[in-house]
Structure 1
């Protein structure tokens, strides 16, 4: 084994090695150079972070694994369902359904979409789409929300996404909701934090809806939809006051419900 490493060589080795051998770890630990000790401390922090992610990954698969064990079937599919967009003043509600393989190791780090940065969500969305056995996304418009109420619209988005799946799941895990389906279902409080399948669905729904609202911002630039996704931020409320409500606003939600002025673009 080589014993004389430059700091640059050690830096490259620690960055490219997922698990350092005991011999090298011992060698670097005894190296008195401050630069080496700093690099080793950074490596240990990365290892601890990765270990925590792997532990959380296993915890988020616990519910799915229990269902697999109970099923005693060769092919047993579990779908996770979640929605995005119940609270905004504008735009549709979006639901996603995801069926993951039993051990989707590329998804270590997947969590409730609200806990991730936009960059991370998009990175994971690509991985989820590549890893999933099946997934689908459905939206329910603001007009439909006004017609049936937000709770029923949420159910409809989930039910529609479920019917669009290319695989028929044996069980569906849903984040704090129940839906109309003949498929066995479990409603999980904080499901997007407890179930990897639901967390994956929340990410797909969030990325899809964010992109949709960015597209709407090109038509209605005054409202800042690209940044607020239709939620009632200060900019959004001020734009409502000045320009009126648009066709994608929810007329059953206040303060939109009390407004009479319809959208007129800024001159």
Structure 2
């Protein structure tokens, strides 16, 4: 059996343009903001090798990040902060980051292809696409920009709040993260709404 083809532009071609792909990174971690990206690509100049960011190595993601930013018609990366996650909840904060990313595009999008199945309120028509980062080239590009931007920020947070291992686990659940929380207590960028973190805050 031949290998499955990667993301393509079939969904984009079926929508009124300009079409942006939208994806997020960081909904699940215990610490750090949630990040979203929006990308408008021209199929004729799009980089080769686009795929779901989780299927790519860190080196490949970083190489494609530069190619996407160079070749895209428009792109934007945006965040929702830990305080906004606490105020709004993670789902609505994700929608806020996505809206900021779409609104930040230098070329306004007429249509957005959004990874997942939740219809966030965005400043254009939308279509949700389950596993969209494996189907749509634009969503795949957005997944790469969101992932690389958030990972880079968490490396910076590791320098600002040493001892938690943010550079390694990016704020996700990991044994080293649990041990650091037990030893150091929560940092200012830990999410109070997550039950393990909330319990530590309540004990402080």
Q: TM-score range by the shorter chain?
A: over 0.9
Q: Which has the higher helix share?
A: 1
Report how many aligned residue pairs link the two structures: 201
Cα distance in 1 between the residues matched to 2:122 and 2:166: 34
Q: Which protein shows a greater Rg?
A: 1
TM-score by length of 1: 0.72
RMSD value, Cα: 1.6
Question: Which of 248, 253, 267 matches 2:194?
Answer: 253
Cα distance in 1 between the residues matched to 2:125 and 2:84: 27
Tell me, yes or no, if structure 1 residue 208 matches structure 2 residue 157. Answer: no
Tell me, yes or no, if structure 1 residue 96 matches structure 2 residue 45. Answer: no
Cα distance in 2 between the residues matched to 1:169 and 1:139: 19
Cα distance in 2 between the residues matched to 1:211 and 1:108: 23
Tell me, yes or no, if structure 1 residue 112 matches structure 2 residue 60. Answer: no
Cα distance in 2 between the residues matched to 1:250 and 1:82: 21
Whether the aligned pair in 2 keeps the contact of 1:65 and 1:102 (CA below 8 Å) is: no
Return structure 1 stretches of 4+ with deviation > 3 angstroms: none
Cα distance in 2 between the residues matched to 1:127 and 1:174: 21
- Relative contact order, CA 8 A, sep 6+: which one is greater? 2
* 1:229 corresponding residue in structure 2: 170
Structure 2 gaps of 5+ residues are none
Cα distance in 1 between the residues matched to 2:157 and 2:109: 33
Give how far 1:169 is off. Answer: 1.0
SS in 2 for 1:255: helix
